[in-house]
Chains A and B, each alone.
Chain A
């Protein structure tokens, strides 16, 4: 019986312990920079996902220049970076987050998990500051998210080039379109945001954007967790076909308008992929580096400054396959990089306030549309 008493006691102990901890979850108020409390331990932990640009050379150079010791906390995708910040609210382990974009940023701001950085930033392009212009987040790269198609297959004979998003709901495209999930991936979320604007401005007043997603779901659209699974594993028009694990069942994919440029540049001026330039079906995406609450603010700011220095940021198209955020920067001409990249004339017009106000509702509407029969 003694044993039983011990067990009961320990259950009571566990229960009370968990109660104590629950109470720590009160919402933090936004703290002004003058009241930030942190210490410089000489280390910088960066929470990120597979951002190509964070190469070993880049990090080593920063370590040599600044004296900080850098370590990377690798997460799955932009969604996981945000999740990580929210989950660790008030008890953060990382100092800097790299990879939140303009569709994710607002949630992080709402939850007060970011701090104002103290990096001195000059020479930033107007376009990169369009979605957000403040000190809580520094843009480090940008691009337009849009559909890409495999020109070898979508050649007008086997498959016709879609002229509207509704075309993708036809039988011809059953199971042939790959889209990263807006719930987990940043290009996926950007594309979903674009569809809200696209269908608000199309000639059809009866159906809306959720009807299109519902039709896509019925048409067996391939929804993946992240961009790499959509582009690398499923898309037949990209470099994925040279990698292991390639499936190649999708001939249209959500990627960037300059992805064909990247393909061409890395293949010696050849690509079979093209961007589908439909009005309002592309989305201007800006990715941010953000200092995390309670982290080493000096180190985070130093890294942001370094990442946005002309020497480093001008290399974004080559190192990170994204546009630089510096003024008067462009994609390189070599290897058909710029020639094969499309700058959409009429991207979706979705304001940051719209995103901030509606994202949660959109995601839930998207979910409902995808599961509805």
Chain B
């Protein structure tokens, strides 16, 4: 009974939390734009501001996915099939970009292509390629995480038997008949996720490809004039059209993803990595550049935080100094200090964790509990918890913003906790996704056994469940903290109507300050370095506790 009550409460809280803001936003937007979805979608091409955006969004997401696979697959193969010194460390470095806040990646790439780097920024034909490569940097971790476990644990006998068969005598033959069918679900799942993340890219698009927008960045840009009666009605239509397309694409991707996830669970005989992996000296040619690629933008950010530009009419020189750091950590009337942003970010992250972890856990537990008896109902709940994935962070931000204006604008403006609403909405689905496989893996007989021994529910929780789930909880914890710290899209929309800033928003604002204050760029990089440092710390910690096998998608 107690469990049922807590499950119902969790679902009620979650539904209210997710649906109220989205509902309020949709209600308001539809009220202004009219209820005709064909109009909404048509308005995308009828308006200069959003013309061509659908095409750009699809094409760049598709190309990003292809490039990510081209870069990620050889690295995953090398990691999975061969022995490497300091293997786990290497894997950590190669997968770390995925947890890096996108704004930090944007700053890193801006410096690689900027004047003190490759100096190709002025050539607008390079922007598209840069964006695609930046997306590949971000998402290659997905390919590695999804494919490497399949590669590293496949029973070697499979390949040996294959070699004896006519179809498996050549490398290409084995690739076609063994590896391709084996890896396909994992590659497809990674591709699917990469597509989703590139499709909803905001910070990278905002900074790298000037003038070209994704649906997500268009919505963010138009958000400020959304929901005003009789004013710029077309913008409401654009936002509705964009979110409708985005919602459909994301939902189909998630559906595809969940089918692929099930396929990936098909059981194949596994062997220890010790037997599977062989030595391969030539592999460095792939892994070496891969490692370099993974750390380059981060080094660029840190390096640029100390590099101060001095320009006059005759020449431009650079000097080294901590001016950018000092500028970032001192406050002015128009810009809070990085200390404030750090304090807010850490506060939001911890509070988000306090809400999202128990909430996500309870939701996941509920799904697991009903799964065997009522699979269809479990599926419904499962999809419900994924709604925020499909809504995208800018849409969530718009929902919260319009919601707060309608409920009590003044209160939310000065209320310190306002940004948390969006952070909880965004992180809870991830907690559910991380907790689900671990909860499914717990053998119910443990619990039953303890029950017959007379252990109370609390005792069973603390002495059985908690120790079994320790690793997963820590991964979920760290992931939630990292997500909240790096959250950009929703916060970007919300902080425009609130008194509070976070580290990622501060980076964006610092970089946007006009006029030639030579300290703003190093200052933006200094704040990026702080955010990067915290994320790295969390990530290293998470790697220690990652369950060795499976471990969910993250």
Contact = CB atoms under 8 A, between A and B. Distances in A.
Interface string B511-528: 111111000010000000
Contact of B24 (A18, A87, A111): A18
Interface string A268-282: 101000000000000
B389 to A, nearest CB: 19
Contacts of A329: none
Contact of B521 (A72, A244, A370): A244
A14 B19 contact: yes
A5 B378 CA distance: 15
A50 B514 contact: yes
Interface string B380-421: 000000000000000000000000011111100110000000
Nearest to B121: A247
A66 to B, nearest CB: 14
A371 B45 CA distance: 8
Contacts, number: 158
Contacts of B407: 21
Given A71-B499, A74-B334, A223 B114 contact: no
A27 to B, nearest CB: 8
A182 to B, nearest CB: 10
A83 B225 contact: yes
Interface in A96-132: 107, 111
A72 B511 CA distance: 18
A7 B124 CA distance: 51
Nearest to B227: A87
B228 A246 contact: no
B280 interface: no
Contact of A88 (B12, B51, B313, B409): B409
Given A2-B4, A22-B28, A371 B48 contact: yes
Contacts of B46: 367, 371
A143 B369 CA distance: 69
A311 interface: no
Given A54-B334, A91-B405, A228 B514 contact: yes
Interface string B206-230: 0000110000000001001111110
Interface string A52-70: 1010100110000000001
Nearest to A85: B228
B332 A56 contact: yes
A268 B313 CA distance: 9
Interface string A350-373: 000000000000001011001100
Contacts of B229: 25, 27
B7 interface: yes
A87 B511 CA distance: 27
A2 B406 contact: no
A86 B210 contact: no
A76 B224 contact: yes
B554 interface: no
A211 interface: no
B311 interface: yes
Contacts of B121: 245-247
Nearest to B414: A93
A193 interface: no
B70 interface: no
B496 interface: yes
Nearest to A60: B333
A183 interface: yes
Interface string B121-165: 110100000000000000000000000000000000000000000
Given A14-B19, A91-B405, A245 B110 contact: yes
A364 B224 CA distance: 18
B309 interface: yes
A242 B513 contact: no
Interface size class of A (residues with CB under 8 A): 35 or more
A14 B8 contact: no
Interface in A218-236: 222-225, 228-229, 232-233
A205 interface: no
B509 interface: yes
A239 B516 contact: yes
B455 interface: no
A222 B333 contact: no
B224 A244 contact: no
A83 B224 contact: yes
Contacts of A155: none
B463 interface: no
B388 to A, nearest CB: 16
A242 B309 contact: yes
Contacts of A249: 122, 124
B11 interface: yes
Given A21-B407, A92-B409, A243 B15 contact: no
Nearest to B28: A22
Given A72-B334, A244-B521, A371-B47, A233 B225 contact: no
A6 B333 contact: no
B51 A70 contact: no
A238 to B, nearest CB: 10
Interface of A: 2-4, 6-7, 10-11, 13-15, 17-19, 21-22, 24-25, 27, 50, 52, 54, 56, 59-60, 70-76, 79-80, 83-84, 86-89, 91-93, 107, 111, 181, 183, 217, 222-225, 228-229, 232-233, 239, 242-249, 267-268, 270, 364, 366-367, 370-371
26 contacts: A2-B4, A3-B4, A6-B8, A6-B11, A18-B27, A21-B24, A21-B407, A22-B31, A24-B406, A54-B334, A56-B332, A71-B333, A79-B224, A80-B224, A84-B497, A86-B225, A86-B228, A87-B228, A88-B409, A92-B409, A111-B231, A183-B49, A229-B210, A245-B114, A246-B121, A367-B49
Interface of B: 4, 7-8, 11-12, 15-16, 19-20, 23-24, 27-28, 31, 45-49, 51, 110, 114-115, 121-122, 124, 210-211, 221, 224-229, 231, 234, 309, 311, 313, 316, 332-334, 377, 405-410, 413-414, 496-497, 499, 509, 511-516, 521
Given A245-B521, A367-B46, 6 more contacts: A10-B15, A18-B27, A22-B28, A88-B405, A92-B409, A244-B309
Q: What 7 A-B pairs are tightest by C-beta distance, nearest first? A: A242-B311, A370-B48, A228-B514, A91-B409, A93-B413, A83-B224, A83-B225
